Structure 1
Amino acid sequence: MDKIQYFTPAQLKEMTNNNRQEFALLFQKLKKKKPKNLDAIVHQLHQEAFDEFDCLDCANCCSHISPIIIDKDAERLAKSQKMKPADFIDSYLYKDEDNDYVFQQTPCPFLMADNYCCVYENRPRACREYPHTDRSRFYQILNLTKKNCEICPVVFALVKELTKLDW
């Protein structure tokens, strides 16, 4: 995989749009075939990418999208802020159109100026797992991966690399 560069979400959205047909064809093939080696290939690309790319140089995810906050996340974050869960929810969260709790604002209220997370040890599960490129059954999250191409330079580069393979 080529060295991954930082791009803004606006740049990534344009780049994803420019690769729309190529990506759509890839995702269509992967959904249809569900290759047995897909996870192994994606995990290898994930590892190579994150051996070189430092999320602290980017923080697009923290500054442009909000993770889904499950009840356990809200409880853990509330405790870390010395708040009652209900007060934490009232202060920081709202229910989105899918009826999921998300942060009321972006950038994330816990993102610091140096791109560090001040609740890193207690961050939500969705943050811990982002960008989801090291999970099992990758073919199940192809729609999410497509969206994440517009936010995360690693996801864009990984998908671009997948288009080079013969499926």
Structure 2
Amino acid sequence: MIDEGWDKESKEHQKQYKYMLERGNKNNILRALPRLNDEAFAKIDCLECANCCKNYSPRFKQPDIKRISKSLRLKEGELVARYLILDSEGDYVSRTKPCPFLAEDNTCNIYDDRPSDCARYPYTDEDVLIKRVPLTLKNSLSCPITHHVLEALLELEGGKKS
């Protein structure tokens, strides 16, 4: 169940999140992530939201392209031509938003073969959370799970101010 107003709260807490992620106790944060990640995923159903699939594209790396094209019985070049473009950083990303593999019920048509970025998103159980602070802050504005984990970390770090 996604809490009402999480997105507004996340927007209001961006400075607190940034400060905590940059200056908080990294070891405490990293130690807490697996538990907080599991709690967030137990509480929040991604299929209610799918903001990630609706608004962003993962990077489709070569192993992803190979695996997905095999699964869809397409040649790699055909998969790229049909669904992907090169972004400004030289990565293949989805040609459209929402993701062309997102079904109407917010499930993924290639879930078992999805890109590694999708499988890892929102990185709330990884050191990416503190190593790539701008990405974490961006994710907190679109992903209720990221918001939930950051709010719990604020409480743990003693930085939660209403």
The TM-score, its normalising length taken from structure 2, stands at 0.87
Q: Does 1:146 align with 2:137?
A: yes
For 1:58-97, list aligned pairs within 5 A.
Answer: 58-97=49-88
For 1:4-153, list aligned pairs within 5 A.
Answer: 4-5=2-3, 12=7, 14-30=8-24, 33=25, 35-136=26-127, 138-153=129-144
> Secondary structure of 2:69's partner?
helix
Which piece of structure 1 moves more, 133-142 or 149-158? Answer: 133-142
The 1-side partners of 2:157 and 2:4 are apart by: 27
Aligned-pair RMSD on alpha carbons? Answer: 2.0
Cα distance change on mapping 1:17 and 1:136 into 2, 3 Å: closer
Identical residues among aligned pairs (%): 32
> Secondary structure of 2:93's partner?
strand
**Does the 8 Å CA contact 2:22/2:130 hold for their aligned counterparts?**
no
- Give structure 1 regions of 4+ aligned residues with deviation exceeding 4 angstroms: none
**Does the 8 Å CA contact 1:67/1:127 hold for their aligned counterparts?**
yes
**Does the 8 Å CA contact 2:67/2:113 hold for their aligned counterparts?**
yes
Unaligned runs of 5+ in 1: none
> Secondary structure of 1:37's partner?
helix
The 2-side partners of 1:17 and 1:115 are apart by: 24
**Does the 8 Å CA contact 1:133/1:155 hold for their aligned counterparts?**
yes
Deviations 1:36-60 (A, max 9, x none): 2322211111111111211111111
**Does the 8 Å CA contact 1:6/1:153 hold for their aligned counterparts?**
no
**Does the 8 Å CA contact 1:6/1:57 hold for their aligned counterparts?**
no
The 2-side partners of 1:137 and 1:110 are apart by: 25
**Does the 8 Å CA contact 2:124/2:146 hold for their aligned counterparts?**
yes
Q: Which of the numbers 125, 146, 166 marks the counterpart of 2:157?
A: 166
Deviations 1:114-149 (A, max 9, x none): 111111111110011111111246422322211100
Unaligned runs of 5+ in 2: none
**Does the 8 Å CA contact 1:39/1:137 hold for their aligned counterparts?**
no
Q: CA deviation at 1:103?
A: 0.4
Q: How many residues align?
A: 158
Q: CA deviation at 1:166?
A: 3.0
